[in-house]
Amino acid sequence: MNSTTEPRLKRIAVFTSGGDAPGMNACIRAVVRTALYNGLEVYGIRRGYTGMIRGDIVKLESQSVSNIVQRGGTILKSARSDEFRTAEGRKKAYEQLQTFGIEGLVAIGGNGTFTGAEIFYNEYGLPTVGAPGTIDNDLYGTDYTIGFDTAVNTALEAVDKIRDTADSHDRIFFIEVMGRDSGYIAIQSGIGGGAELVMVPEVASSIEEVIETLKGNFSRSKTSSIIIVAEGDEEGGAQEVAHKVKEYVPYADIKVTNLGHIQRGGSPTASDRILGSRLGNAAVEGLLAGRKNVMAGLINNEVVYTPFRDTLIKQKPIHPDLLRLAEILST
């Protein structure tokens, strides 16, 4: 054997970290079965980096991931770990992985997960391939993230139901959806739900613009409105925006609904099950091909591998066509 050839992996581990997302279980299932198909041993790390530090690691077989593809959440559970942010915590995690003979990792999560994996590799050289699991769809290097489609459909179902009561009572509803730094859920659920206005972190939307929109609706005898607000909008969340608007249109019947964590739960859509399966498979195949410190994603329906540093530094803006479409359809 050529001395420069890297030895073939024998044992890998998979974990989920950060916020849960529908489709993570489909991804875990694909990781386990792709690993076994290729003759690898595969382990599951419970509760993300916290479980890595504590050695909460179990061997997984094919039956370990039976009957989970349709389940929301993550069977491996998730947690945020302050201890892993420290050198001492990462040293403990590495020692635990060494105990189990783990030679490569599949990390399913978002920005925080990949930041930890990048630092961990730089310190200990353990190769990691990531799969983008976050409902926010805010990671550079993939058209869609695992859980995004389900979250949009969950939000859209709520918007449809709220519109019924808004129309019945001539009310204005401000609906807050998740998206601290990204307006993808807001823009897609706004277009799909026929919202009169969508407020996202990427584009400045003033209170004056909201008021002008509402007054324009009133002038056309439109008595109810739906305004979607991403939680990270610069004017504040839906509650704060509604409060500001009420000062200018005190005669309006204004209500606020915060969809909150229902957007993270529920059975994943077909799209998220397939996406999770493809990216879980791609992550293992990436490790076998010698890839490290990269995220497996889909761009134009093709698997691509993007360095973690790019997913962390480069922005993924909302496509201008979506913003323009939302504006046109709200008139």
DSSP-based three-state secondary structure for 159: helix
Number of other CB atoms surrounding residue 71 within 10 Å: 17
Point out the catalytic residue in the list 20, 136, 149, 233.
136
DSSP-based three-state secondary structure for 243: helix
Spatial CA neighbour of 19 closest among 161, 142, 136: 136
CA 143 to chain centre: 12
DSSP-based three-state secondary structure for 70: coil
**Which DSSP letter does residue 133 get?**
B
Spatial CA neighbour of 154 closest among 22, 40, 325: 22
Q: Is 56 a catalytic residue?
A: no
Distance CA 160, CA 215 (A): 23
User: What are the C-alpha distances in Å from 21 to residues 47, 70, 136, 193?
Assistant: 14, 12, 9, 22
User: What are the C-alpha distances in Å from 141 to residues 2, 31, 123?
Assistant: 33, 20, 24
* Residues marked as catalytic: 136
